[in-house]
Amino acid sequence: MSHPHDLLVVGSVALDSVETVSAFREEVLGGSASFVSVAASFFCPVRLVAVVGDDFPPEHVAYLEERGIDIEGLQRQAGRTFRWRGRYSSDLNHRTTLDTQLNVFAGFRPELPPACRRTGLVFLANIDPTLQLEVLSQVERPLIVGMDTMNFWIEGSRAALERVLQRIDFLLLNEEEARLLSQDHNLSRAARAIQRLGPTNVVVKRGDAGALLFHGEQVFAAPAMPLSEVVDPTGAGDAFAGGFMGYLARTWTEGPLDGRLLRRAMICGSTMASFCCEDFSLDRFRTLQMDQIEERFSAFRHLTHFEDLTIT
């Protein structure tokens, strides 16, 4: 295998409080960049750019380092770490955000260390699009750029968001966000409208209904793995992005992005998202082994494979 590319990730590193009908967790490790970085770290070298406050527990930093993530770009500032609180419906398919506190992110000015500036693949995880732009403009020669966003920014920072969209190759977002961004309830039309805003590739994440990749004119559907127990879906979308971008970083060897490689990247995304749902916070990743990832990746083949191309 050729040498894998590095992946630069910017986004939130947070303390999350999560409530489901059967359990809750207070101030556990979360944030879009944490989920993306940890999921991607199973596939490629990762560099993290974010900010935390002086209340951020050192054991969380130690865990990121243990995963081999380069945290030179993780700033620590006086003040409180970003906090997010959410509550899930009993079927875990709907989530209400109860509180978002930007805290140290409100005054964050990213300053990329030299190694981060030379990274080939970039993922702009969910965070203020103005910060996404600031990071991207400091990268010398980005080869592939992916990004995520959410309703908070689509509604509140539309102009900055549209500027980032013009500079990226992949947008990953969930179906409600795709509808909100495009003002179209039909997902195919929504994805095509988003492609016209900039990205050639749009990945629409649909929770337990899987994800759709709109790649130029092509469409590919990746299912979600049917799990017998979902504990906490927080971060599943970000873990999908980490698996997707991590797989590209590991296997792409320059040149145009091949549709078959993108399809495998989608399955890698679904694989990492499914593990994420099996426990709170990043806890499932703490014990996850590469052979378990490979086993689930191949389980997707069986889930979707059928032989006959005609029905007679």
Closest contact distance (angstroms) between CB of 126 and ligand AMP is 4
Alpha-carbon distance of 66 to 273, in angstroms, equals 21
Closest CA to 252 of 170, 172, 171, 194: 170
Contacts with 163 (C-beta within 8 Å, 6 or more apart), sequence order:
129, 133
Binding-site member from 195, 234, 270, 274 for ligand AMP (CB under 6 A): 234
Nearer to ligand AMP, 27 or 143 (CB): 27
Q: Between residue 132 and residue 151, which ones bind ligand AMP under the rule CB under 6 A? A: 150
Q: What angle do CA 74, 76, 81 make, to 5 degrees?
A: 100
Binding-site member from 75, 100, 101, 138 for ligand AMP (CB under 6 A): 100
Residue 14 sits at φ, ψ, to 5 deg, of -135, 165
Alpha-carbon distance of 86 to 99, in angstroms, equals 7
Nearer to ligand AMP, 234 or 270 (CB): 234
Contact 186, 257 (CB under 8 A): no
Nearer to ligand AMP, 82 or 252 (CB): 82
Contact 63, 31 (CB under 8 A): no
Contact 214, 192 (CB under 8 A): yes
Give 205's strand partners.
174, 211
**Which residue matches tokens 């995963």?**
67
Binding-site member from 152, 198, 297, 299 for ligand AMP (CB under 6 A): 152
Does 126 participate in binding ligand AMP (rule CB under 6 A)? Answer: yes
Closest contact distance (angstroms) between CB of 207 and ligand AMP is 10
Nearer to ligand AMP, 130 or 143 (CB): 130
Q: Between residue 31 and residue 50, which ones bind ligand AMP under the rule CB under 6 A? A: 31-32
Q: Between residue 50 and residue 89, which ones bind ligand AMP under the rule CB under 6 A? A: 84
The interface region with ligand AMP, picked from 57-65, 69-77, 231-239, 252-260 by CB under 6 A, is 231-239
Closest contact distance (angstroms) between CB of 164 and ligand AMP is 14
Nearer to ligand AMP, 17 or 251 (CB): 17
DSSP secondary structure string for all residues of 14-63: EEEEEE-SS-EEEEEEE-HHHHHHHHHTTTS-EEEEEEEETTS-HHHHHH
Closest contact distance (angstroms) between CB of 124 and ligand AMP is 11
Nearer to ligand AMP, 112 or 127 (CB): 127
User: Which residue type, as a one-letter code, is found at position 162?
Assistant: E
Give 14's strand partners.
30, 82
Contact 50, 73 (CB under 8 A): yes
Q: At what angle do helices 259-276 and 32-40 cross, to 10 degrees?
A: 120
Does 12 participate in binding ligand AMP (rule CB under 6 A)? Answer: yes
Contact 298, 264 (CB under 8 A): no
Nearer to ligand AMP, 12 or 274 (CB): 12
Binding-site member from 45, 237, 246, 269 for ligand AMP (CB under 6 A): 237
Helix (H, G, I), strand (E, B) or coil at 205: strand
Does 201 participate in binding ligand AMP (rule CB under 6 A)? Answer: no
Nearer to ligand AMP, 26 or 258 (CB): 26
Interacting residues toward ligand AMP by CB under 6 A:
12, 14, 16, 30-32, 84, 100, 126-127, 150, 152, 234-238
